[in-house]
């Protein structure tokens, strides 16, 4: 096997590229403004061959890709794998795509049946979650709750190193909509820890969200809140409501351990909300997670 490979976390708004060794250690890292939302049909393959691979000096290396690149917007639609999904099962379902040069694989996304009915889907987070699990043998046994915050936050129940079931919460997108387009938007927001905590308190048990959100406006109009605190208050309210409601949806009881994977600053907000609700949370960097996941898939397909 090659001792190095090209690892791409290719999402909706950005492409993060690494040269990594088989243990997932990064040797080179570079971002490209090539999120699939901005690509024309057929453009992904062409950009990969003509631009990304040469820029990474990776013309001789195999490549592993995860994220929305495997959707209809990306290189090609790779069918979802169904939950429960084991690491080895997903590794066996990697989709090789047509490209000149060394092989290129895309990691399939996952599909689940939500506990409250209907389907749910993810693309990319499965690689982060398995990367988190493969980084420590203790995570490959027993039941774990993993939270991956973001525009569309993913919460997964991981049992004996298989992703059993998950749900998505569009908390990040609601926050962006409210701060940008709604009657709650304010100019000159200033981050505030105490306003964030007031939001956590206002979230209650996570119910009646459309009603609790309006308390931001009512507090400002009633003179109980400085407008510059509204964004932190809304952040606390939305994240608090998500943390209050989601573990129970997945059958996880209060006081459980939760692993949070993602951007460290955002993860810290979630950690505070989990602490508020009595969960013990540990943080794991999202970039380390995706590298560990892609490297684990690479090793599975290229055993030494």
Tokens of 238: 């939305």
CB-CB contact of 63 with 104 (8 Å): yes
> Residue 37 and residue 19: Cα distance in Å, rounded?
24
Among the listed residues 27, 116, 187, 188, the single contact to a second copy using CB under 8 A: 116
Q: How far is CA 231 from CA 3, 176, 198, in A?
A: 47, 10, 11
201 contributes a contact to a second copy by CB under 8 A: yes
214 contributes a contact to a second copy by CB under 8 A: yes
**Least Cβ distance, residue 241 to a second copy (angstroms):** 7
Q: How far is CA 80 from CA 106, 110, 134, in A?
A: 11, 5, 21
CB-CB contact of 127 with 66 (8 Å): yes
CB-CB contact of 260 with 281 (8 Å): yes
Contact characters 22-61, a second copy, x per CB under 8 A:
----------------------------------------
Contact characters 249-288, a second copy, x per CB under 8 A:
x---------------------------------------
Buried b / exposed e over 68-96, threshold 16 CB at 10 Å, is bbbbebbbeebebbebbbebeebbeebbe
181 contributes a contact to a second copy by CB under 8 A: yes
Among 96-104, 157-165, 205-213, 269-277, which window interacts with a second copy (CB under 8 A)? 205-213
> Residue 66 and residue 15: Cα distance in Å, rounded?
10
**Least Cβ distance, residue 155 to a second copy (angstroms):** 8
232 contributes a contact to a second copy by CB under 8 A: no
For a second copy, give the closer residue by CB, 118 or 303: 118
Among residues 11, 252, 236, 246, the alpha carbon closest in space to that of 125 is found at 11
For a second copy, give the closer residue by CB, 229 or 242: 242
Burial bucket for residue 166 (CB in 10 Å: 0-12, 13-18, 19+): buried
224 contributes a contact to a second copy by CB under 8 A: yes
Among the listed residues 165, 171, 192, 232, the single contact to a second copy using CB under 8 A: 171
Among the listed residues 23, 55, 177, 280, the single contact to a second copy using CB under 8 A: 177
Residue 136 CA, chain-centre distance (Å), reads: 19
222 contributes a contact to a second copy by CB under 8 A: yes
Residues near a second copy, by CB under 8 A: 80, 111, 114, 116-121, 151-152, 167-171, 173-174, 177-178, 180-183, 201-202, 204-215, 217-219, 221-222, 224, 238, 241-242, 245-246, 249
């Amino acid at each position: 096997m090659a001792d190095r490979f090209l690892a791409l976390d290719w999402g909706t708004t950005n492409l993060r590229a690494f040269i990594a060794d088989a243990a997932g250690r990064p040797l080179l890292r570079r971002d490209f403004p090539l999120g699939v939302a901005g690509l024309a049909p057929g453009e992904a393959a062409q950009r990969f061959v003509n631009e990304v691979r040469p820029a990474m000096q990776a013309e001789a290396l195999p490549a592993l890709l995860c994220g929305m690149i495997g959707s209809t917007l990306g290189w090609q639609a790779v069918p979802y794998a169904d939950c429960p999904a084991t690491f080895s099962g997903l590794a066996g379902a990697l989709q090789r795509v047509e490209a000149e040069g060394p092989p290129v694989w895309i990691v399939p996304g996952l599909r689940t049946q939500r506990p409250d009915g209907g389907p749910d889907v993810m693309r990319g987070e499965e690689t982060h979650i398995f990367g988190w699990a493969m980084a420590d043998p203790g995570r490959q046994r027993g039941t774990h709750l993993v939270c991956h915050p973001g525009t569309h936050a993913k919460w997964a129940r991981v049992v004996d190193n298989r992703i059993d079931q998950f749900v998505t919460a569009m908390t990040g997108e609601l926050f962006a909509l409210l701060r940008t387009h709604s009657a709650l938007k304010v100019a000159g927001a200033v981050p505030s820890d105490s306003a964030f905590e007031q939001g956590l308190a206002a979230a209650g048990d996570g119910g009646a969200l459309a009603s609790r959100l309006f308390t931001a406006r009512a507090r400002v109009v009633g003179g109980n809140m400085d407008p510059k605190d509204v964004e932190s208050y809304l952040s606390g309210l939305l994240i608090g409501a998500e943390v209050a409601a989601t573990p129970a949806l997945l059958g996880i009881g209060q006081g459980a351990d939760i692993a949070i994977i993602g951007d460290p600053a955002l993860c810290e907000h979630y950690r505070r909300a989990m602490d508020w609700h009595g969960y013990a949370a540990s943080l794991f960097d999202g970039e380390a997670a995706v590298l560990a996941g892609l490297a684990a898939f690479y090793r599975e397909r290229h055993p030494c």
